[in-house]
Amino acid sequence: MRSLCFFVFLVIWTPVAWAGELKECDAVDSLAVAGHFDFDIVTVHADTDDDTCRFSVNGARTGSPPQDQINDARRQLFGGPGTANQFLMQSEFPFEAMAVLLAAAGPDTDPSELENMLLNSSFVLDECVFAAGQNQPRSFQDPFGFTVECAVFPSFGDGEFFEIGPFRSISTDGLQVARMSIVVRRDAVWNLVSFPVQ
């Protein structure tokens, strides 16, 4: 039986007021929602067969990879909370670390399947990273049967949104920080990771 899941959680690192955003997941009967700030790293796992949505903010483990593995992946990608400069400056896309972060909210004990899917769509991810470096709004999709999509959003007006599969990102105060979202689909299972790229 499907159930309604609604929760909002906020993580505050400093007393600075940042714009907010909502992540919605409609894999459950009604809707699951998580709130976060512009500088947060958000992972969502949705299973439309099992009617579940799980959220992770800033690498907090709600899935199966060990917390130390998630923390190492987050440090490799971003260098620490609140910055994505290290991610954009890497010479090669960090497939393994991104797969671990994608798995942070899901039940995958071994993120190697996610890593292989990212590797097989490396051209999509390379284009997305280039667009992020140029601060261009773009969306890229695997043309061989959608399994990976990547999008860059330099800004959102209040109430504007990005939607793919069971996920929707909605700006609540106007997005002030460019964000990148990567979505991976495996049949009824969807993984999303969204993070700042400034």
Question: Exposure of 81 by Cβ count < 10 A (0-12 exposed, 13-18 middle, 19+ buried)?
Answer: middle
Compute the CA torsion angle 127, 130, 136, 142 (nearest 10 deg): 10
pLDDT in tens, the chain (198 residues): 333 333 333 232 223 334 455 566 766 666 666 666 677 888 888 888 888 888 888 888 887 788 899 999 988 888 755 455 577 777 888 999 999 999 998 888 889 999 999 999 998 898 888 888 887 777 888 777 668 888 887 666 665 667 777 887 766 665 567 788 899 998 899 998 988 886
Structure tokens at 81: 């909370």
What does the domain layout of the chain look like in residue ranges?
20-196
Is 87 within 8 Å of 76 (Cβ atoms)?
A: no
